[in-house]
Amino acid sequence: MQRSLIALFALAWLVLPGLFAPDSTLSLLVFAAINLLQAVGLSLLFGFAGQISLGQAGFYGIGAYVSSLLATSLGVPPLLGIIGAALAPALLAYVIGRPILRLRGYYLAMVTAGLGLILHTVFVEWEGLTGGYSGVAGIPPISLGACAFDTPLSMFYLTTVCAIVVLFLAHRMVKSSYGRAMRTTRESEAAARSVGIDVSRLKTEVFAVSAGLSGIAGALYAHYVGYISPETFTIDTSINLLLALVIGGVGSLWGAAIGAVLLTFLPEWLSQLQNAYGIVFGALVIILLTIEPDGIVGIVRRLIEAWRHRGVRNLGERAA
């Protein structure tokens, strides 16, 4: 039943916007799918492996710049550039992951925030390569043969398919023995080591996967917008992504999806109210963490459980 509902939802998500949504809504859906790639990566790292990161915007930026510069300076096809955009931040995360992931809690948060600040400074100061604050313009759209993904509708389908594939693979990961090792590490690294899990290697690998997904998201963003600059890849981007994940539900891939949608649509919904976005976003974090630490997903689970218990109780009363 649950699989049927998920398949029905995915089909509706793919078909209905293409039939009825204007270009402005399709663009928001494109950005939601791009944000979803980042949110899934952070969910795997933070929600399942228990390692917080405030440096995701830096990896997002690396992916955007790598793919953009390969396309504009070297004429590399965007699809190949996206592969490079995934590998470059993943390799960096793997190299630095071993030493920094020895830290925990707010120490790790501060170190990853520092990494994000360093990468943002590189984007600004390395003007000969990145263009500094002027950024990189003239980024070509993604193309596959004669098919160019240069419209909101075509990019909607491309990014949605990417998001669905990533969600599917992430689901398979968290349900596998590797996913169980991630959750064991999150709960107790000592317990994980006692059953033979290489904790350091596991955390580094998940960190690299998370960075790679952010890199892919950055490349998709760059080729859709056609222009990038350092302002997109600040620490605020990392903080907003983390808060969105907390609102949706840290330990759930569905929570990542909900958080990505809110992160994209909430500023648009509140665009007419000056400074309302920060107030509403902050209030949601405070209220949800107070009521339900598992976010919106946790509230939905509570409601479903209450409905099931009510149904069982009603059946019992009828039988009596």
The domain segmentation of the chain, as residue ranges, is: 22-233
Tell whether the model's pLDDT for residue 12 goes beyond 90. no
Could you read off the pLDDT of 168-179 as tens digits, one per residue?
A: 999 999 999 999
Residue by residue, what is the 3-state secondary structure of the chain? Answer: CHHHHHHHHHHHHHHHHHHHCCHHHHHHHHHHHHHHHHHHHHHHHHHHCCCCCCCHHHHHHHHHHHHHHHHHHCCCCHHHHHHHHHHHHHHHHHHHHHHHCCCCHHHHHHHHHHHHHHHHHHHHHCHHHHCHHHCEECCCCEEECCEEECCHHHHHHHHHHHHHHHHHHHHHHHHCHHHHHHHHHHHCHHHHHHCCCCHHHHHHHHHHHHHHHHHHHHHHHHHHHCEECHHHHCHHHHHHHHHHHHHHCCCCHHHHHHHHHHHHHHHHHCCCCCCHHHHHHHHHHHHHHHHCCCHHHHHHHHHHHHHHHHHHHHHHHHHC
Say what the pTM is. 0.90
Average pLDDT in the 6-13 region?
66
Average pLDDT in the 201-228 region?
96
Tell whether the model's pLDDT for residue 199 goes beyond 60. yes
Average pLDDT in the 138-164 region?
90
Average pLDDT in the 298-318 region?
72
What is the model's pLDDT at position 1? 46
Higher pLDDT, 98 or 122: 122
Q: Is 94 buried (19+), middle (13-18) or exposed (0-12) by CB count in 10 A?
A: middle
Could you read off the pLDDT of 263-274 as tens digits, one per residue?
A: 898 888 877 666
Residues 277, 157: Cα–Cα separation, whole Å:
28
The model's confidence at residue 2, banded by pLDDT at 50, 70 and 90, is very low
What is the model's pLDDT at position 104? 84
Could you read off the pLDDT of 39-87 as tens digits, one per residue?
A: 999 999 999 999 999 999 999 999 999 999 999 999 999 999 999 999 9
Could you read off the pLDDT of 234-244 as tens digits, one per residue?
A: 999 999 999 99
What is the model's pLDDT at position 142? 94
What is the model's pLDDT at position 174? 93
